[in-house]
Amino acid sequence: MRDVCIVGGGVAGMAASIFTARAGLDTLVIDGGESILARNASLENYPGFPDGVDARRYLQLTREQARNAGAEFELGRVTRAEPVEAGELEQGFVLETEGGDPIETRRVIAASWSDSDYLVPLDVGRIQRGSKYFVDVDEGGRTAVEGVYAAGRIAGEPHQTVVAAGHGAKVGLAVIHDSDANFYHDWVAPEGYFTGRDRDVPPGCEEIDEAERRERDEQARETILEAFAEPLDEEPTMHPSVESE
């Protein structure tokens, strides 16, 4: 049984997975297709990119970061989520996917804007606004069903990438705190930051020395330089109702 399955490998789902995987939770992201951000023409309000960034490049890099953190990805649309049958010792859920084997997990994060139909059997508290269904959550993304969370646009967050990413991270942290992972913060600090004050390095944190810091910086620079060396040969996805020529 997985520790956490994230339905939707878009902005919120990938951000959540970076946190849960880095905290040591066995994390599977199941993605049924494309993030709605693939329709963007130029992402210009995501902090850290002074002149903007190609949205598809942002998605690629975030996915690479999630994989580096230890998250696994599976392609497939989730069609149904149900509690593991009564009588089992462990609390959990079974996710059915189109064409794939059922997947068992202790916790589910729904990050699947704009589909929440698969949650109907769980009765999480969906809210209809016009043609859309949102999921009612608390401040940590917890739904009415223990072990089921929602993140990003589907949880009613504003329709912006940085907000969806931040919310995904916040929900990932709630999952970590609700699990038995030993965790304080996901921080990388310079050598001596804690130990220099006779404190143990808290769980989830890391102290690195100057040589290690320089090595990681070099690796990070190489990755970014390589990623941005050439323009991406991918175009934005057009809205399905716009007729193509």
Ligand X SMILES: Cc1cc2nc3c(=O)[nH]c(=O)nc-3n(C[C@H](O)[C@H](O)[C@H](O)COP(=O)(O)OP(=O)(O)OC[C@H]3O[C@@H](n4cnc5c(N)ncnc54)[C@H](O)[C@@H]3O)c2cc1C
Closest CA to 18 of 52, 62, 61, 73: 62
Q: How far is CA 3 from CA 90, 122, 172, 191, 216, in A?
A: 11, 18, 12, 31, 29
Q: Which pair of tokens denotes residue 36? A: 């709605």
By the rule CB under 6 A, 35 interacts with ligand X: yes
Residue nearest to ligand X (CB): 10
Chain positions 53 to 112 lying near ligand X, rule: CB under 6 A, are 77-78, 111-112
Q: Which is nearer to ligand X, 124 or 154 (CB)?
A: 154
Assess contact for 191 and 210: CB atoms under 8 A: yes
Task: Figure out which of the listed residues 4, 22, 23, 31 binds ligand X, where binding follows CB under 6 A.
Answer: 31
Q: How far is the CB of 225 from ligand X (least distance, A)?
A: 25
Task: Figure out which of the listed residues 9, 92, 141, 204 binds ligand X, where binding follows CB under 6 A.
Answer: 9
The DSSP bridge pattern shows strands 27-31 and 126-129 to be unpaired
Q: How far is the CB of 128 from ligand X (least distance, A)?
A: 17
Q: How far is the CB of 185 from ligand X (least distance, A)?
A: 23
Q: Which is nearer to ligand X, 33 or 125 (CB)?
A: 33
**Whole-angstrom Cα distance, residue 80 to residue 6?**
13
Q: Which pair of tokens denotes residue 210? A: 């100057």
DSSP state of 142: B
Chain positions 161 to 180 lying near ligand X, rule: CB under 6 A, are 161-162, 164
Task: Figure out which of the listed residues 26, 115, 178, 212 binds ligand X, where binding follows CB under 6 A.
Answer: 115
Q: Which is nearer to ligand X, 25 or 81 (CB)?
A: 81
- Between helix 161-178 and helix 11-22 the angle, nearest 10°, is 30
Give the SS3 label for residue 107.
Answer: strand
Residues forming contacts to ligand X in the complex (CB under 6 A) are 7-13, 30-37, 39-40, 43, 45, 77-78, 111-113, 115, 118, 152-154, 159-162, 164
